[in-house]
Structures are given as C-alpha cells and as structure tokens.
C-alpha cells in the first residue's frame, strides 16, 4: 500500500494496470476513497483480486475489472464555444471551431458540443451545419427550447440535443432548466425532437422534482448542472458532490441516463467522473484555457522564426 500523500501513485497504478508487461501493483488509494464516497463495485472487485494469493487469478480478475472499468468510464464531450468566442471577438475567420473540433477528436473527445445561442454571440449557423458533416464522434447541440431552434435541430439532426435555459444578459448558462415550471412547453419540444429520433437531454439542477418532471416531459437523458459543486467552498463541496451522486442514482432509478457538466476543471473533475452511472461529462472552458497554456510557447516560436527568417 502506498502513501496517501502521493497522488501520482494512483496514476502509476493505473498505467501499470493497463500495461500487461508491467509488474502487478495494487491501487494505493482508490479514486472513490479520495472523493469520500462509499466503495464502488470496481473497488470491491479490485479488493477481491488483491486478496487472491494466486498470480494467474489476480491477472484474470484484473483484466475483467479493466473491461468493466472501460465500459463504465464516463465519456468526454468537448464544448468548443470558446473557440468561436475568440473568432467573434474580431468577427474574422480564425480560430475556426469546425477545424479545431477535428483536433479535439484526435485528442480523444467522444463528442463535440456547441451551443447555438439566440443572439449568435459565438457559434454560428454555418458552424453547426459544417460540424454536422465533419464531426466523426457525436454532435451534441445545446439550445433553448424555442421554435427557431427546434427548426434548426430538425434540419441538422444532431446526435443529441441538450435543452438549456437561455438569457441574453448571462455570460454563460446560469442554472438549470426549470422543467417543473415549463412542463407543457418542454413536453411539446421533446416530442417534436423525439419524433425525428433525436435523443433529448435536459440540463437541470440536481434536484428530485426536476428529475421527476424530466421523466414526465419524455426526456431520456438529463445533464446535471455541476456549477454549484464547482464553485462550492471546501466546506460545502462534499454536500454538493453528494447532491450530484444522489441525483445520479435517483435519475437511473427513474430510468433516465445521466450526463453532467458546467464549471468542471482539471482539479475538480475526478470526483464527478468517479460517480457510478455517470455517462458523459461536457467540458469547455477549462480545456480551451489549457490549450492556450500548452500551445502559446510554440505559437510564439513559430512567429519568431518567421520574423527572424522572412521569406524574401
Ligand atoms: N454543459 C452545459 C449545458 C453548458 O451550458 C456548458 C457551458 O456552455 C457546459 C456544459 C460546459 O461548461 P464549462 O465551459 O464551464 O466547462
């Protein structure tokens, strides 16, 4: 057993686990333990394997666990709105979210998410149309439940529509949809989209009455708003995390499938990714920010070289 203080031990174990030639090392500390939850079924299976005296049995059990783990691992949807935000700051043609979505997919994105806002402040109609043709993973169209947006979705046929609340004055989506208060309107929109075989997800706060209303309006998916968890102080974080975990379990019991997103970062994502039943995490701001951090040096070097050695 390794020390609790070295988070890299967990990562080393994970790599060793995936590499069949590496010596067997046991997880020093489980991710769910770090996230202060009860043991998951995977932890339980790992502990079973670790108690086995026979090396062959251990390897067999580990392989089985690995397959299960891959199956239950949450997938990653990348929200690329911020790329369009930079383009629209100059109303120019770069950076192009359509071209860069391809890089996100090469990097391992399981899906591309764009929010076509009523005021078209970032993503444009042209982006959505082209992305429909170029995205090889899955295209998730975030939109308000308006007749204009429904018309566009029915024309584009994205792989999923996520309905979100929208206010012109907000910087980003604030709070989840109030499904309870807008039941009849949402029921109609979900029905129209479902008739075109577009799966619909509702972006909601992790609250029981919103989950129950989501079932009533005919949605098959919900995306749980993780904003409160992301912004919580150290003192209230565990409470917010518990709300998301309980809502995930409750949603599954109600027959809903569960995604989550908003405000997730490299620092706070693991506890959400470790929730059993969580299918996809939609992440934007932190990944686009990080891409600037990891790419800026190279971009400056390229410009420096051109200025130093101009083609005459
Ligand atoms: N999910 C929904 C419904 C959103 O509106 C957004 C932000 O556009 C995200 C996920 C991604 O949030 P963030 O940019 O904070 O990662």
Q: How far is the CA of 3 from the centre of ligand 1 (A)?
A: 35
Q: What pLDDT is stored for residue 15 in this prediction? A: 44
Residue 152 vs residue 16, higher pLDDT: 152
Q: What is the pLDDT of residues 213-268, one digit of tens each?
A: 999 999 999 999 999 999 999 899 999 999 999 999 999 999 999 999 999 999 99
Cβ-contact 43, 18 below 8 angstroms: no
Cβ-contact 218, 198 below 8 angstroms: no
Instruction: Name the domain count of the chain.
Output: 2
Q: Which domain holds residue 50?
A: 11-71
285: annotated active-site residue: no
Pair (55, 101) in one structural domain: no
How far apart (Å, rounded) are the C-alpha atoms in residues 136 and 158? 12
Residue nearest to atom 9 of ligand 1 (CA): 262
| Annotated active-site residue in 82, 115, 122, 225 | 115
Least confident of 70-74, 82-86, 119-123: 70-74
Query: Which residues make beta-bridge pairs with 156?
Result: none
Cβ-contact 264, 286 below 8 angstroms: yes
Nearest to 273 by CA among 291, 259, 254, 255: 259
CA dist list (Å): 171 to 36, 107, 122, 143:
33, 27, 11, 15
pLDDT beyond 60 at 103: yes
Q: Ligand 1, residue 173: give the atom nearest the CA.
A: 5
5 within some domain: no
91 within some domain: yes
262: annotated active-site residue: yes
Nearest to 40 by CA among 62, 17, 69: 69
Pair (150, 201) in one structural domain: yes
Q: What pLDDT is stored for residue 45 in this prediction? A: 62
Pair (89, 137) in one structural domain: yes
26 within some domain: yes
166 within some domain: yes
pLDDT beyond 90 at 281: yes
Mean pLDDT rounded to a whole number for the chain: 86
- Tell the residue number behind the tokens 């379990």, with chain if given: 249
Q: What is the pLDDT of residues 61-70, one digit of tens each?
A: 777 666 655 5
Q: How far is the CA of 11 from the centre of ligand 1 (A)?
A: 27
Structure tokens at 131: 């992305």
The model's pTM is 0.81
| Annotated active-site residue in 142, 166, 240, 279 | 142
Angle at which helices 183-195 and 147-156 cross, to 10°: 20
User: C-alpha angle 16/18/42, rounded to 5°?
Assistant: 100
How far apart (Å, rounded) are the C-alpha atoms in residues 68 and 63? 9
Q: What is the pLDDT of residues 116-146, one digit of tens each?
A: 999 999 999 999 999 999 999 999 999 999 9
Collapsing DSSP to helix, strand or coil, 77 comes out as strand
**Residue 167: band (very low, low, confident or very high) from pLDDT cuts 50, 70, 90:** confident
Structure tokens at 310: 């101009």
Residue nearest to atom 7 of ligand 1 (CA): 262
Q: What pLDDT is stored for residue 68 in this prediction? A: 58
Percentage of residues in the chain having pLDDT higher than 90: 71
Q: What pLDDT is stored for residue 35 in this prediction? A: 54
Tell me, what CATH number does 285's domain have? Answer: 3.20.20.70
Structure tokens at 53: 């005296």
């Amino acid at each position: 057993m390794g020390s609790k203080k070295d988070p890299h031990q967990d990562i080393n174990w994970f790599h060793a686990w995936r590499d069949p030639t590496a010596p067997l090392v046991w997880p020093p500390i489980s991710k769910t333990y770090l996230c202060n939850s009860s043991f998951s079924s995977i932890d339980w299976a790992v502990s079973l394997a670790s108690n086995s005296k026979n090396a062959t049995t251990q390897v067999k059990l580990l392989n089985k666990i690995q397959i299960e783990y891959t199956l239950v691992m949450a997938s990653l949807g990348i929200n690329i709105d911020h790329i369009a935000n930079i383009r629209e700051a100059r109303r120019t043609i770069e950076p192009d979210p359509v071209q860069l979505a391809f890089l996100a997919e090469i990097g391992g994105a399981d899906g591309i998410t764009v929010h076509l806002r009523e005021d078209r402040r970032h993503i444009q109609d042209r982006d959505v149309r082209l992305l429909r043709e170029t995205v090889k993973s899955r295209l998730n169209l975030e939109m308000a439940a308006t007749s204009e947006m429904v018309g566009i979705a029915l024309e584009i046929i994205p792989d999923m529509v996520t309905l979100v609340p929208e206010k012109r004055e907000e910087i980003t989506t604030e709070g989840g949809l109030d499904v309870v208060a807008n039941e009849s309107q949402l029921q109609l929109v979900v029905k129209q989209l479902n008739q075109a075989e577009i799966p619909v997800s509702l972006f909601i706060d992790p609250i029981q009455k919103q989950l129950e209303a989501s079932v009533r309006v005919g949605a098959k998916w919900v995306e749980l708003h993780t904003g409160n968890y992301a912004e919580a102080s150290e003192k209230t974080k565990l409470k917010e995390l518990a709300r998301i975990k309980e809502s995930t379990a409750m949603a599954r019991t109600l027959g809903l499938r569960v995604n989550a997103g908003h405000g997730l970062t490299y620092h706070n994502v693991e506890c959400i990714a470790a929730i059993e039943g969580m299918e996809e995490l939609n992440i934007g701001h932190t990944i686009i920010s990080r891409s600037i951090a990891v790419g800026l040096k190279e971009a400056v070097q390229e410009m420096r070289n051109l200025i130093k050695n101009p083609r005459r």
